[in-house]
Structure 1
Amino acid sequence: MINSELIQRFQANYASDPINQAVENAVARVGMQEASFNNQTLRHHPFVFSHETKKGDITNQKSSGRCWMFAALNTARVDSLTKLNVESFEFSQNYPFFWDKLERANYFLNSIIETVNEPLEGRLVQHLLFDPISDGGQWDMFAGLLRKYGAVPKSAMPETFHSSNSRGLNQFITSKLREFAKTLRDAAASGASTKELEDQKEDMLYFVYNTLVKTLGMPPTEFTYEYRDRDNNFHRIENISPQDFFNDYVGWDLENIVSLINAPTQDKPYGRRYTVKYLGTVLEEQPINYINVPNDVLKEAAVNAIKNNEPVWFGCDVGKISDRTSGIMDLDLYQYDKTLSQPSQLDKAARLDYGDSLLTHAMVLVGVDLDSDGKPINWKVENSWGKDVGDKGIFSMSDAWFDQYTYQIAVNKQYIPEEWLKALDQPVIELQPWDPMGALAKVQ
């Protein structure tokens, strides 16, 4: 019980250490992070890397949670830079954002129809209702959008107010989707058939489509793209579809890109394939698939891709022990053991099990600094928060930070040892919708 005697003991213990008062004064002026900042860590991040890939200009997702889209398109444009023979190129992030919102609404309404017999107060239905049209996503979700809708240059579908400031749009559509969920569940309770519910769903989807066109713009079904190449030669690509543009000017075989995760928890053995129930965007696309592997496998695959000039999409918990101003992600960045007495004692598995960490943000690995034995020291990271953070938008991530807070990469099969690819031939293990590995990258 907390009583006056206990508080007096606490006060006496606090006063017995004069350092506490000095730290209290510092924290009061600058906050606990700045007061704990380890300036020596800066010396270990010179932002020089032994191996780098080609990359485009730094992008800015602004006040939206589209990091997973920005990271995927920033990875894809490296191939476009070569095929178009240009110095700079940027895909439209608004274009997949539109289709993801519409597809996400369809996925949600379909899930509501599937679960009409589940109790409203149950964990599953409440999970579905919690955040039905989040900005966030994962690699396989974006791969499905690319397969179905392709991609377009930024000029073919520029940003709008709500693509760059998505909160108000999300709140509006979320409220309507919850209303639609009630309508569908009420109709089912009154005896409506699945066919009748699906007919109602079409009208609901039109409302979402109408809203998206008014807030994000009409997505093109074909467009003309004009540009000048490195040699100042003019080019015009006329009347091309988004699907053909992606195939011609990126050309990825999406079936060969595999998602690897590192989740060292007891319930997820390495070398197995996982999916997450009720997690997706394009309903008819294949479910999310991960292969759970040790950290060394993730890192070896990423290093080999970078050596071959291929940037790597990855997902991490960016808010943990990182600094936006310097662009450093390092376990030694804050000396909380000296200012606040005790740092966290949880390891990576425990942080996942106890809700202390999960995937929150997606970025691109565009370089790595290897030591004389070929082991990573620091990783070069392309972020999508604009040029005013880090080293003009670039972050430096220590290899130890990678071990603790990186959870996922997407990489071509050719960089993954065959022993781990065998997992793709095994039965998939379904994770519950609220499993930490179902977290979405959406940090602004």
Structure 2
Amino acid sequence: MKEVKIEHIDEMKQNYLNKPIQQVVRKALVKNSISDITYVNERETEIQFRFSNDIETLPVTNQKASGRCWLFAGLNVLRELVANKLELKDFEFSQNYQAFWDKFEKINFFLESMDDFLTVDNDDRTLKHLLQLGIQDGGQWDMFVSLVEKYGVVPKEAMPETHASSNTAQMNRFINIKLRQYAARARALAKENKTNEIIQLKSQTLEELYGFLVTNFGIPPKEFNFEYVTKKNVYHIEKKLTPQSFYKSVCQINLNDYVSVINSPTSDKPFLKSYTIDYLGNVIGGKEIKHLNLSMARLIELTVNQLKDKEIVWFGSDVAFYGDRTRGIWDDQAYDYESTFEMSFSMTKAERLDYLQGQMNHAMVITGVNIEDNKPTKWKIENSWGSDRGLKGYYLMSQSWFYEHTYQAVIHKKYLTKDELDAYNEKPIRLKPWDPMGSLAR
């Protein structure tokens, strides 16, 4: 390893002082943010909230201080079906109900997964990965499907939000302490060959954390009445529904007909292949997390086709860069970092995935697209960050941002070709637990 000499630092300082642009930028940054001084005002004309294909949807929801975007986005897909069927002008499912069972199933998934690591070395990479990750709010589309298929859905009024469900950090911290405590004690018992005591400890931990979830979230309803008023102000009530009967009778959708299409242009993931991720999931016995890897051009084409048929699209992207969350704009052309700082920040999509610079971290719903000369130019997004940002909570992303920073879209299988369906239905290639395609939307 080579030491940095003081003389070299002095040389670098002089070279910096010889750059007049950096002297201006340095002074500007004293009172302004990087985003403010790199903003390209000329992009304003390209990012107006007007779309040639715009699906009318219900008012936005708010996940607040939680990482439940994937649940909100999934339930937003379902609620449009219910609202259209029942002619509702406003409706929400209980995100709290879904989050309760997600947490419970993730706890069980973790406890059961630890059976594979009772006797491995303490520095085993997979064990350390699972312990560090613990359980989180985030998830994937197939995890949402597993929850709905097993537990159904309920209206928001049947299980309203609590402070803990909207502010999950403290609760998650205590759950993960308990799970790591279990791992430590179970591994200690394994050294003494006390298998029966491990089973008892697992059962006790699951029951204790079930009670902890009830204390934080409330008791999930087994039965409820559903009251609603239509757009024509006609009152209805359906009595003694269960979460499962409500899902089957009201939603009338087969979520298993939808395929997670990803774009991972890395050398280890050929297109037209399906993939899954080790030790990623929530409901044991539920739907396997499975992705079909296609080119970005094809992912875009499938998304447009579904939107043209007036069906919104659940999708996952990396919202960490090139965004204005107040105005509700994601546009990589709206910020000129390279000219401002006189250095390159460019990386290919494959490089960002391989070198931990990019991954899917947020799920939303696409509700519109603008088409010019048979090509998309911008997209309308229903987010779950409340109505005080963007255009009443709706966001816009440019085509170039979508191309570079979107990694996943959920598409009905009827839009896929036979070759694509065959590839999806093949036994998936297994990826390591830390693969970027196993990242959780939150």
Taking structure 1 as the reference length, the TM-score comes to 0.97
- Is the Cα–Cα contact under 8 Å of residues 113 and 185 in structure 1 kept in the other structure? no
The within-5 A match list for 1:188-267 is: 188-193=190-195, 196-267=197-268
Contact between 1:98 and 1:212, CA under 8 Å: does it hold in 2? yes
Residue 94 (structure 1) aligns with: 96
Match of 2:168 among 166, 169, 188: 166
Match in the other structure for 1:421: 421
- Structure 1 position 127, deviation (Å): 0.8
The residue type equivalent to 1:417 in the other structure is T
Q: In terms of mean alpha carbon deviation, does 22-31 or 417-426 score higher?
A: 417-426
Aligned equivalent of 2:54:
52
What do the CA deviations read for 1:371-412 (whole angstroms, capped 9, x no partner)?
13x211001011111112212211111111111110011111
Aligned to 2:37: 35
Partner of 2:358: 357
Aligned-partner Cα distance in 2 for 1:44–1:343:
24
In 2, distance between residues paired with 1:388 and 1:119? Answer: 50
| Counterparts of 1:402 and 1:281, CA distance in 2 | 28
Secondary structure of 2:238's aligned partner: strand
Bigger mean CA deviation after superposition, 310-319 or 37-46: 37-46
* Greater mean deviation of Cα atoms: 199-208 or 100-109: 199-208
1:28-427 equivalences under 5 Å are 28-193=30-195, 196-372=197-373, 374-427=374-427
Quote how far apart the aligned CAs of 1:268 are. 0.3
Partner amino acid for 1:49? F
Q: Could you tell me which amino acid in structure 2 is paired with residue 134 of structure 1? A: Q
CA distance in 2, matches of 1:313, 1:425: 21
Asked if structure 1 preserves the Cα contact closer than 8 Å seen for 2:143 and 2:287, the reply is: no
Amino acid at match of 1:320: F
SS in 1 for 2:430: strand
Deviations 1:101-158 (A, max 9, x none): 1100000000001221222211110111112210000100110001001111110100
Q: Paired residue for 2:432?
A: 432
C-alpha distance in structure 2 between counterparts of 1:198 and 1:378, whole Å? 54
Unaligned runs of 5+ in 1: none
Which residue is 1:12 aligned to?
A: 14
CA-CA distance at 1:196 after TM superposition: 4.9
Kept in 2, the 8 Å contact 1:64–1:167? The answer is yes
The letter for the 1-side match of 2:34 is: M
Q: Is 1:54–1:78's contact at 8 Å kept on the other side of the alignment?
A: no
SS at match of 2:118: coil
User: After the TM superposition, which of the residue ranges 34-43 and 93-102 deviates more from structure 2?
Assistant: 34-43
Q: Distance in 2 between matches of 1:120 and 1:151?
A: 40
Displacement of 1:197 in angstroms is 2.8
Asked if residue 25 in structure 1 is aligned to residue 22 in structure 2, the reply is no
Measured after TM superposition, the shift of residue 184 of structure 1 is 1.3
Contact between 2:317 and 2:361, CA under 8 Å: does it hold in 1? Answer: yes
Q: Residues 253-272 of structure 1, C-alpha deviation per residue, up to 9 Å, x if partnerless?
A: 12211100000000000001
Equivalent residues of 1:297, 1:416 under 8 A apart = no
- Looking at structure 2, the residues matched to 78 and 89 of structure 1 have their Cα atoms a distance apart, in angstroms, of 9
Out of 253-262 and 33-42, give the one that drifted further: 33-42
Unaligned residue ranges in structure 2 (runs of 5+): none
Aligned counterparts of 2:297 and 2:78: Cα–Cα separation in 1: 25
Shift of the alpha carbon at 1:216? Answer: 0.5
2:182·2:201 contact (CA, 8 Å) conserved in 1? no
Deviation at 1:276, TM superposition (A): 0.2
Pairwise CA distance, 1:192: 2.3
Aligned residues: CA RMSD: 1.2
Q: Residue 371 of structure 1 aligns to which amino acid in structure 2?
A: E
Relative distance call for 1:48 and 1:133 in structure 2 (3 A) is same
Q: Deviation at 1:200?
A: 2.5
Query: 2:278 touches 2:432 (CA, 8 Å); kept in 1?
Result: yes
Query: Which region of structure 1 is more displaced relative to structure 2, 273-282 or 283-292?
Result: 283-292
Are the counterparts in 1 of residues 54 and 369 from structure 2 also a CA contact under 8 Å?
yes
Aligned residues: 440
C-alpha distance in structure 1 between counterparts of 2:30 and 2:312, whole Å: 42
Q: Give the distance between the partners of 2:197 and 2:54, measured in 1 at CA.
A: 55
AA matched with 1:378: K
Q: Secondary structure at the match of 1:29?
A: coil
Deviations 1:54-74 (A, max 9, x none): 311111100000000011111
Give secondary structure in 2 for the equivalent of 1:28. Answer: coil
- Mapped contact 1:259–1:411 kept (Cα < 8 A): yes
Distance in 1 (alpha carbons) for counterparts of 2:322 and 2:120 = 41
Tell me the amino acid that sits aligned with residue 172 of structure 1.
F
Letter of the 1:426 partner, please give it.
E
